[in-house]
Amino acid sequence: MTVPALTFEVRGLVKTYLEGTVTVHALSGVDLAVAAGEFLVVAGSSGSGKSTLLHLLGGLDRPDRGAVCFAGSDLLALTESERTIIRRHKLGFVFQSFNLVPVLSAYENVEYGLWLDGMARNERRRRVEDVLEAVGLADRMHHRPDHLSGGQRQRVALARALVHDPVAVLADEPTASLDSRTGSEMVELLLRLNTTRRTTFVFATHDPAIIARSPRVVHLADGLVVDDERRSAS
């Protein structure tokens, strides 16, 4: 299968919201291209438009104006059913709040989406065990979330995002609920997975640990790209 050179390409993205009677301009004309296998941070203060941009990249919302392409497909031209298939099979999502099912073990949380898809049990086991080992939780896979630390719960959420072998993972403030040491460990893990799996990672964050280690940082302010910084990861 031919892999498109660009995982994401957006042009002229505009998105506004109403807060009471006030119109909030979340994005005011954003252009962005993300190469396949890239590790990209979208940085900015609260209200800069980071989360809005991630939601549009993932097809979770629609812009007022502009174009959103994912792996060569125009997301806005697809039906909601087609976008749902892309979100389930080609995109992984990681959020600050983990969103784990509390009564399920780490293994079951990661396996659940594969089970819904009707995947054979042996293949589910192979994939779940592989990805839990990749995030360093092979010895904790049968523990429920309330028996895991915050960092371990976030690793389960990351494993769940990766288990479908997605083209890209979108993460919204993935270290915001973690202490600085655990957050730094998470950054190292994300960089390693990006290198070994060649999955595209896009993060919305203001965490200096992620920003400092990212080879590319796009800075947003008031819904606009104000800087696109490319550098070597340190």
Whether the model clears a pTM of 0.95, i.e. scores above it, the answer is no
What average pLDDT does this structure show over 173-197?
87
pLDDT tens profile 117-140: 999 999 999 999 999 999 999 999
**pLDDT tens per residue, range 40-95:** 999 998 889 999 999 999 999 999 999 999 999 999 999 999 999 999 999 999 98
* pLDDT for the residue numbered 4: 65
Indicate whether 25 pLDDT > 60: yes
Across the chain, mean pLDDT equals: 91
**What pLDDT sits at residue 232?**
67
Rounded Cα distance between 232 and 213, Å, is: 9
How far apart CA 185 and CA 15 sit, in angstroms, is: 34
Q: How many CA atoms lie within 13 A of 215 on its CB side?
A: 13
**Residue range 226-231: mean pLDDT, rounded:** 92
Q: CA dist 81 to 61, 85, 87, 114, Å?
A: 14, 6, 10, 18
pLDDT confidence tier of residue 177, bands split at 50, 70 and 90:
confident
Encoded tokens for 217: 């940082």
Q: Where are the domains of the chain?
A: 1-90+202-234
pLDDT value at position 102?
95
Enter the CATH code of domain 1-90+202-234.
Answer: 3.40.50.300
Q: What was the pLDDT predicted at 2?
A: 54
Cα 110 from chain centroid (whole Å): 16
Query: How far is it, in rounded angstroms, from Cα 10 to Cα 222?
Result: 17
Q: How confident is the model at residue 209 (pLDDT cuts 50, 70, 90)?
A: confident
Give the per-residue pLDDT at 1: 46
Reply yes or no on whether the pLDDT at 15 is more than 70. Answer: yes
- Does position 233 have pLDDT exceeding 60, yes or no? no
Q: What distance lies between CA 212 and its chain's CA centroid? A: 18
Helix 106-116 to helix 121-134 angle, to the nearest 10 degrees? Answer: 140
Give me the helices (H) in the chain, please: 50-57, 80-89, 106-116, 121-134, 150-162, 180-197, 208-213
